[in-house]
Amino acid sequence: MKSRNMNLREVYVWELPVRFYHWLNALCIVILCITGLIIANPPGIMSDKEAAFRFWFGDVRLIHFITAFIFLFNFVFRIYWGFVGNKYADWKNFIPLKKSQWKELLEVIKVDVFMVKNKPVGSIGHNTLAAVSYFALFLAFSLQCLTGFGLYAQMSKSFLPHLFSWVVPLLGGDMNVRLIHHILMWFFILFAIGHVYLVFYHDYIERRGVTSSMIGGWKFIEEDVAAAEEEKERSEAKAESV
């Protein structure tokens, strides 16, 4: 029997709003990609019905637009949570402004990408490379919302889409915007493939339960890492009170 004693501590990392955002976002992206691919190149579905008695393409577009609204507001909510959520949800994680973040980023590349180093990076929330890639993803989300609602503005009379009506002229017309929107969709698909693989990889090699942490919110963290983090928190709190 291969076994060993582990000194682990459970840490509550992902709060419920973060987990809710994650899964709603995932669902939205799946729906948006499927409907988006259909809108970009609709299949030739033949029918003996007259046009007036069919509306499937209209329905596909309707689903795409409704999901886009949910996606947008969910994203806005996540940005808000980046300012009020716990420190693992904080917006500062995603933008590497501190030297320590850059150091960790290099470390992660060494360990997880090129595997020239074996000792896992002891971050509790996102590691810096992951956080930076999510920041890029958030920028892509923003651009996708801008281009999507920019295109949608032309067929809408309501207030919100019209806030985006400047996008299409700025980016040089409808076709360019459609192309950017389409390419970004592929970026999300590729990102999702990499994302799912890397979650499995981390769980596989680090065994901290990262996959299920997005369901339950808790992660298994090594005792020494957790204790060091606690010590850091305590000294920060002390510095603040002084």
Partner 1 sequence: MKNKNLSVYEECSRKGVSRRDFLKFCGTFAAMMGLKVSGVAQVVEALDKKSRLPIIWLHLQECTCCSESFIRTTHPVLSALLFDQISLDYTETLMAASGEQAEKSMRDTMQKYKGEYILMIEGSIPTKNEAYCCIGGRSALQIVEEAAEGAKAVVAWGNCASAGCVQAAAPNPTGAKPAHQIIKGKPVVNVQGCPPIAEVMAGVVVHLLTFGTIPQLDSLGRPKAFYSRRVHDTCYRRANFDAGLFVESFDDENAKRGYCLYKMGCRGPATYNSCGIIKWNEGTSYPIQSGHPCLGCSEAGFWDKSPFYKREPALHAFGIEATADQIGLAVGAATVAGIAAHAVATNIRKKKLINNKGEEEN
**Which residues of the chain form contacts with partner 1 (CB under 8 A)?**
2-4, 6, 37, 40-42, 44-45, 47, 49, 51-58, 60, 113, 115, 117-120, 154-155, 168-169, 172-176, 178-179, 182-183, 185-186, 189-190, 193-194, 197, 201, 204-205, 207
Residue with tokens 């983090």: 229
Could you tell me the smallest distance in angstroms from the CB atom of residue 81 to partner 1? 29
Closer residue to partner 1 (CB): 22 or 162? 162
Residue 121, both tokens? 């990076």
> In angstroms, what is the minimal distance from the CB of 105 to partner 1?
18
Cβ nearer to partner 1, comparing 57 with 102:
57
Q: Which is nearer to partner 1, 84 or 116 (CB)?
A: 116
C-alpha separations of 17 from 71, 74, 134, 207 in Å: 15, 10, 17, 25
Please give the Cα distance from 149 to 74 (Å, whole number).
Answer: 15
Q: Which of 186, 154, 152, 146 is nearest to 170 (CA)?
A: 146
Total residues belonging to the chain? 242
16 vs 46, which CB is nearer to partner 1?
46
Which two tokens mark 92?
A: 């500062």
Q: Which of the 8 DSSP states describes residue 53? A: G
CB of 89 to partner 1, least distance (A): 28
